[in-house]
Structure 1
Amino acid sequence: MFDPLLHQTVRSKLMSVLIANDEIPFKALKEALGVTDGNLSSHLSKLEKESYVNIEKTFEGKRPKTVIHIAPIGRKAFDEYIEALKKFIEEN
């Protein structure tokens, strides 16, 4: 019924932010969600493993920069998850 990967509070919020932004720097995403670096990294690893997000690591000068992108598979999965939630609400 519900995608278990997305039916977790932090990951559903994370995907909502990505839907609205397509891509976002790690630091901005961490601040938007109010989570720690380690917590966000853990959730991103799970989403990346299923190809829901792409993680781009680059440098700005000598400083590392990580940008998170929503992948087409992730966008489709999140859209289906939202539709399942709507259907559940309508039926109950």
Structure 2
Amino acid sequence: MFKELDPLLHSELRLAVMSILISVEEADFVFIKEQTKATSGNLSVQIDKLSKAGYIEITKTFKGKMPQTLCRLTPIGRQAFENYIEALKSYIGNIG
């Protein structure tokens, strides 16, 4: 039986953002942008979608005089990511 895949995480860039955040306490926008090779505009839109879903928390701060956007996974986001991985396993387990 195939489990339903979370449509919010079934996007390459949003999944990449979640994959980065699952392994760190928090990451700044520039780091995520470098890791995903996304454009600032696209990344901003996708981070906003994850934030509105409650999957990530965004904190705007300053590093010296430069604005800094920090992203952190929420408990809801962590659970959604784990559920997504489990759902993927239901597809992979049916191969062969």
Corresponding residue for 1:39?
A: 42
Cα displacement (A) at 1:22: 2.7
Question: Over aligned residues, Cα RMSD in angstroms?
Answer: 0.8
SS across alignment from 2:93:
helix
More helix by share: 1
CA distance in 1, matches of 2:36, 2:57: 18
- Which amino acid in 2 is paired with 1:42? V
| 2:20 counterpart of 1:13 | no
Give the number of aligned pairs.
Answer: 92
| TM score, norm. by length of structure 1 | 0.95
1:20-45 residue CA offsets vs partner (Å, 9 max, x unmatched)? 11310110000000001101000001
In the alignment, which residue of structure 1 is the partner of 2:27? 24
Query: What are the ranges of 5 or more consecutive residues in structure 1 without an aligned counterpart?
Result: none
Q: TM-score, normalised by structure 2?
A: 0.92
Q: Which runs of 5+ in 2 are unaligned?
A: none
1:7-64, CA deviations, whole angstroms, 9 ceiling, x for partnerless residues? Answer: 1111111100111113101100000000011010000010000000001101122211
Identical amino acids, percent of aligned pairs: 48
Where in structure 1 do 4 or more consecutive aligned residues deviate above 4 Å? none
